Amino acid sequence: MKSVIRIICITLVSGLFACPVLWAQDKERTYVDAYTSASRTKTTLSGAALDAAADALKAGSADLASAAEAKAPGYNARQGTIGNVMSTNPDGSVGISTISQWVYSRASGGDTVKLQLTEGQNAFNLAEAGRRGTLFVSDLTVGGKEGRYFVHFKVVNVDILKYSDEANAAGKFNQHYSGQADKKSQFTLTCRVLAIEEVSSSVKLGTKMP
């Protein structure tokens, strides 16, 4: 019996000393982002190809006009391209929201993309500075051919317009807002663009707005 207890104790002590070694090895592992992973269906862009894609995304943006702004004299609606915002749900599955309200902006300090989501799980997933996600956009014309892109981003600012009948009546929500029946809030996310990937024509999640 004593020999059995001695073996158990030695095993436990050995395990305790082994753990820090395993933790140290784990800390040294290189973190790999989705957009640096190997894939034959995606190509991370740089140089002139990156500029061309960014310009196409800017041209394909809609606008974030509120209902009140859209009703103002002289307003011209900007026909944008449908985008699919992707994030990670709490259970590890992929959350996807199809939206028309997104704007890509170019700047010397780094490109940004602004997204508007109606309250829901995908909005909750991204509603905190530092959260990361991806915008998929297709049906863009680049160099005379159709382009499809993954825009990987990090959220830097979150603005939540909570629902109220007064705010809705005043036209403060987006002109395409559809959450009135369920009294849902509107999330505006300002995001820093981390990378853009060109996607193979075999991948297609979105279509142009009618």
Res. 12 pLDDT band, cuts 50 70 90 = very low
Please give the pLDDT value at position 95.
94
Domain shared by 19 and 53, yes or no: no
Domain shared by 164 and 92, yes or no: yes
The answer to the question of residue 37 being in a domain is no
Domain shared by 189 and 100, yes or no: yes
Domain shared by 167 and 193, yes or no: yes
Please give the pLDDT value at position 29.
45
Q: Are 152 and 161 in contact (CB under 8 A)?
A: no
CA distances from 104 to 21, 28, 85, 92, 121 (A): 45, 36, 13, 28, 23
Structural domains counted in the chain: 2
pTM for this prediction? 0.78
φ, ψ for residue 202, nearest 5 deg: -75, -10
Domain shared by 21 and 48, yes or no: no
Res. 4 pLDDT band, cuts 50 70 90 = very low
The answer to the question of residue 35 being in a domain is no
Please give the pLDDT value at position 97.
94
Distance CA 112, CA 117 (A): 16
120 is in which domain, residue-wise? 42-199
